[in-house]
Amino acid sequence: METEMDTVYIGKPVNRVDGIKKVTGAATYSGEFKPEGLVHGYVVSSSIANGKITAIDTSKAKNLKGVLEVFTHENLPEALKSNVDYSDPLAPPGKPFRPLYNDTILYNGQPIALVVAESFEIARHASDLVEVTYQVDECSTDIKKNKAKATRDNVEAPPDDRGDAEKAYKSADFKLDVEYSQPRHFHNPMEPHVSIAIWDKDEEAFTIYDKVQGVNSSQTYICGIFSLEKEKVRILSPFVGGGFGSGLRPQYQLFLAALAAKSLNRPVKVALTRRQMFSFGHRPACFQQMKLGANKNGKLASIQHTAFGETSKFEYYNEDVVNWSGLMYHCENVKLDYQLIPVNMHTPLDMRAPGGTTGMFALECGMDELAIEADIDPLEFRLINYADKDQNEDKPFSSKELKKCYQKAAESFGWDKRNSKPRSQKKGNTLIGYGMATGCWEAFQQKSAAKAVLTDDGFLTVSSSTADIGTGTYTVMTQIAATTMGISMHQVSFELGDTSMPEAPMEGGSWTVSSVGSAVKVVCIQLQEQLFDLAKKVHPEIFKNLAHKDVTFNDGKISNKSGESVSFSEVLKEAKKEKLETENTLEPEEEQEKHSCYTHSCVMVEVHVDEDLGMITVPRVTSAIAGGKIINPKTAENQILGAIAWGIGMALEEEGMIDDHNGRIMNANLAEYHMAVHADVQNLEVFFVEEHDDIVNPLGAKGLGEIGMVGVASAISNAVYNATGVRVRDLPITLDKVLTY
């Protein structure tokens, strides 16, 4: 008997299709292209946070052999000065930052000049020869000191109040009224931001390789600034060495590379240094007041959550910090408030689970504190207050298997072995603590387009302008296309990261699989239909009176019920068609609008704290995730493992240290900006619980890039309390904060 090849790849732990390319160096990242005549730009950054440039002397730099030009606000082309459209699709309210626009300094580390030279080394050396004189005005970057300036202007209002939270709080049996805070976090992908811009003078058109999480936004940005039509700006970004949100908005190196390339008519590469990677977009500093009340039966009586987030003086960066508190648990009396505090910093930017990690940190620590207050097991407390519907929006969930997550995590972790009394578990000098938290993240679907081309050799090429920021987009889309089409993965190529392809949203918000993946599935079904129509024409004897639903597509063949089949390639060849091509744009369906779509998780951790020395380690983390259909368990687990490591860093280490005297970041390097290293990451255990969802999108998959991080910092903080009896509400939980002597 002939064995049929199984072309069902969805749900299987398939290896990355670009894995070999990546480990052999064959994957070309944006900064690695070498167009002929390439020259190099090096950015000069401001050393003050607020004031004006009174003089900028570039003569020494320009005199250096090999230097082509030094761009500053003094020689910015008139056309760009009169243009005000520097916005990008993700720009928050306010005025976007315009590099080299004028002499005003808005934040420390602001780009104030670009030196372009024949080599990187010459450009870097020349950058040191640019002499800048400033008028220094007072600056302040500390959000707590600036609380009086908090504003609700340009803030997306959180969900309306329900009930009377203050009244319910007053009469509650158990109460909590505390403040949590966290510092700035920086994305720090391994690959620094880089752009290579090539200007075609005859065509008046740009080709730009850009490190970005979505090429279309860079295109919009460049078109706006240089007043060009979309056809004249092609952005490519085939591989991205990590993003975490840092590539969600076009950054200044893109503008500078384009400016220089056009002015000099030479291809220009501008790469940021590691220090400069700390000079744009970060997770904002935030402090939050959490006021909770519960009654004797353990039911939440009142939730009041107020958050103060950081923003710049020129844009109002918003994120959903407090909304989670109205969503996670059943409660009739809720009051949510979110305000912004502008300081002399660059504008914050979405960073892995923006808002969610922050707000859920406060909520999940608060829940732990209140459970302890009420003498109820923290897991039991969450079950008592389980929300069966979204009370913020008054909608049912498309699916919510959070109870399964609680159960799976508790079972595997051994939650029942937790002793609720702090400092009760000890081995030698080591205090042992258990902690848990719930995680939650949005399951978005965005409008996305994809194109499928089947050639007469039976090869399928699917494309969409999306990105692969290390998440496995290439692999997962290939799996979806191959499975849907019924064809071997080796016969499929997925292409991305090019504005000439059908438009996809930015890769962010964990929506790529659900949005682009759904578009890929639907375009492949469309292709099948067209192919089937053709098959009926060339092989009426096999497919007579049959409809699309009556035949199967497997192993590169269309078969009828009695097993007679014809290969894709034969169909095309016999129909004398070289290729079949189709495109589709998919938008979320109405049914989805009627529901709330979220991913959920339960995180349990064990921490060890050295009683005398304060050092904290996390020997064990269990994370159980309800994320809908899992397309590839391998890349999925990968996302969660990485996100847990991020959570450990957030809980114990990460802090952008901005000196309030000068608004400068003092630890702008990977040695002093501590994030989790291998030694921090020990036994991580990930489970995906069964979750069926027909509503969320045609794939039933929810996206997993961010959920793994939400709740980790709270679980660790709660475990540290269980170990030590010390409640640290101010991240990161460094060892000095848990010392009790």
Partner 1 sequence: MNDFKYIRSENLGESIDVLYKENRSKLIAGGTNLMDLMKYRVENPEQIIDITRLSLHDIYRRDDGGLRLGALATNADTAYNSEVEQQYPILAKAILSGASAQLRNAATNGGNLMQRTRCYYFYDTATPCNKREPGSGCSALKGFNRIHAILGTSEHCIATHPSDMCVALSALDATVNVQGTDGERTIPILDFHRLPGDTPEMDTNLKSDEIITSIDLPEKGFHTNYAYVKVRDRPSYAFALVSVAAALDLNGDTINDVRVALGGVAHKPWRKPESEESFKGKPATEENFGKLADHILEGATGFGTNDFKIKLARKTIVRALREAKEL
**Residues taking part in catalysis:** 706
- How far is Cα 365 from Cα 711, in angstroms, rounded to an integer? 9
DSSP 572-609: HHHTT-SEEEEEEEE---HHHHTSB-EEEEEEEEEEEE
Q: Which of 6, 203, 593, 659 binds partner 1 (CB under 8 A)?
A: 659
Exposure of 477 by Cβ count < 10 A (0-12 exposed, 13-18 middle, 19+ buried)? Answer: buried
Spatial distance between the Cα atoms of 481 and 492, rounded to a whole number of angstroms: 7
Smallest separation, CB 696 to partner 1 (Å) = 38
Shortest Å distance, C-beta 676 to partner 1: 7
Nearer to partner 1, 379 or 676 (CB): 676
- Residue ranges of alpha helices (H) inside 303-401 are 323-327, 356-373, 378-384
Q: Which is nearer to partner 1, 323 or 717 (CB)?
A: 717
653 interacts with partner 1 by CB under 8 A: yes
| 469: Cα within 13 Å, side-chain hemisphere | 30
Smallest gap, in angstroms, from Cβ of residue 664 to partner 1? 6
Q: How far apart are CA 25 and CA 533, in angstroms?
A: 43
Binding track over 610-629 against partner 1, x by CB under 8 A: --xxxx-x------------
Binding-site member from 21, 60, 62, 124 for partner 1 (CB under 8 A): 124
Contact region for partner 1 (CB under 8 A) — 175-183, 200-208, 228-236, 672-680?
672-680
**Looking at beta carbons only, is 375 or 672 nearer to partner 1?**
672
Considering beta carbons, is residue 184 or 702 the nearer one to partner 1? 184
Out of 501, 676, 695, 701, the only residue in the binding site for partner 1 (CB under 8 A) is: 676
Q: How far is the CB of 646 from partner 1 (least distance, A)?
A: 14
Choice between 70 and 222, CB closer to partner 1 = 70
Query: At residue 699, what are phi and psi to the nearest 5 degrees?
Result: -90, -25
Token pair of 319, please?
Answer: 């994120």
Smallest separation (angstroms) from partner 1 to the CB of 608: 11
Question: Judged by CB under 8 A, which of 144, 330, 537, 661 binds partner 1?
Answer: 661
- Residue 657 engages partner 1 in binding (rule: CB under 8 A): yes
User: What is residue 89's DSSP assignment?
Assistant: T
C-alpha–C-alpha distance, residues 686 and 407, integer Å: 13
Per CB under 8 A, the list member of 389, 634, 674, 727 interacting with partner 1 is 674
Instruction: Give the Cα-Cα-Cα angle 174, 178, 180 (nearest 5 degrees).
Output: 140
* Alpha-carbon separation of residue 504 from 201, 406, 411, 448, 589 (angstroms): 29, 35, 40, 5, 17
Closest CA to 179 of 330, 23, 307: 307
123 versus 240: smaller Cβ distance to partner 1: 123
Nearer to partner 1, 8 or 666 (CB): 666
Q: Is the dihedral of CA 599, 602, 606, 611 positive or negative?
A: positive
28-44 CB burial, b ≥16 within 10 A, e <16: ebbbebeeeeebbbbbb
Q: Name the segment binding partner 1 (CB under 8 A); options: 18-26, 167-175, 554-562, 678-686.
A: 678-686
Helices marked H in 238-294:
252-264
Residue listed under structure tokens 């578009």: 519
Q: Is 667 in the site for partner 1 (CB under 8 A)?
A: yes
Taking the complex as a whole, the smallest distance from the CB of residue 658 to partner 1 amounts, in Å, to 9
Question: Binding to partner 1 by residue 736, rule CB under 8 A?
Answer: yes
For partner 1, the closer of residues 615 and 726 by Cβ is: 615
Question: Residue 568, Cβ neighbours under 10 Å: how many?
Answer: 29
What six digits make up the tokens of 682?
A: 């020990």
Segment contacting partner 1 (CB under 8 A): 16-24, 119-127, 245-253, 567-575?
119-127
The Cα 313–Cα 297 span in angstroms is 47
Which residue, 125 or 175, is less far from partner 1 as judged by CB?
A: 125
Cα dihedral across residues 706, 712, 713, 718: positive or negative: positive
Question: For residues 121 and 690, which CB has a smaller minimum distance to partner 1 in the complex?
Answer: 121
In the bound state with partner 1, the residue whose beta carbon lies nearer, of 162 and 674, is: 674
Of 34, 29, 27, 32, which Cα lies nearest the Cα of 198? 34
- Of 87, 140, 181, 662, the residue at the interface with partner 1 (CB under 8 A) is 662
String marking each residue 12-51 x if it binds partner 1 according to CB under 8 A: -----------------------------------x----
Determine if 128 is a binding residue for partner 1 (CB under 8 A): yes
Question: Using CA atoms, how far apart are residues 473 and 517, in angstroms rounded to an integer?
Answer: 9
- What does the per-residue mask of binding to partner 1 show for 338-357, with x meaning CB under 8 A? --------------------
Quick one: which of 20, 55, 84, 735 contacts partner 1 (CB under 8 A)? 735
CB of 414 to partner 1, least distance (A): 24
What residues between 575 and 594 interact with partner 1 by CB under 8 A? none
Question: Residues 184-223 vs partner 1: string with x where CB under 8 A?
Answer: ----------------------------------------
Record the tokens describing residue 665, joined without a space: 């970041």
Residues touching partner 1, count (CB under 8 A): 33
Site for partner 1 in 400-459 (CB under 8 A): 429
d(CA 661, CA 693) in angstroms, rounded, equals: 52
DSSP-derived 3-state class of residue 259? helix
Residue 55 in the binding site for partner 1 (CB under 8 A): no
Q: How far is the CB of 65 from partner 1 (least distance, A)?
A: 11
650, two tokens: 């957030």
CB of 617 to partner 1, least distance (A): 6
Q: Which is nearer to partner 1, 55 or 613 (CB)?
A: 613
Q: Does 672 bind partner 1 (CB under 8 A)?
A: yes
The two tokens of residue 143 are: 């959000």
Min dist CB 660 to partner 1, Å, is: 9
**Cβ proximity of 249 and 91 under 8 Å:** yes
Out of 677, 683, 690, 694, name the contact with partner 1 by CB under 8 A. 677
Cβ(543)–Cβ(560) below 8 Å: yes
CB of 64 to partner 1, least distance (A): 9
578 to 189, 369, 500, 524, 554: CA distances (angstroms): 42, 67, 22, 18, 21
Q: Provide the binding-site residues for partner 1, judged by CB under 8 A.
A: 47, 121, 124-125, 128, 429, 612-615, 617, 652-653, 657, 659, 661-662, 664, 666-667, 671-672, 674, 676-680, 734-736, 739, 741
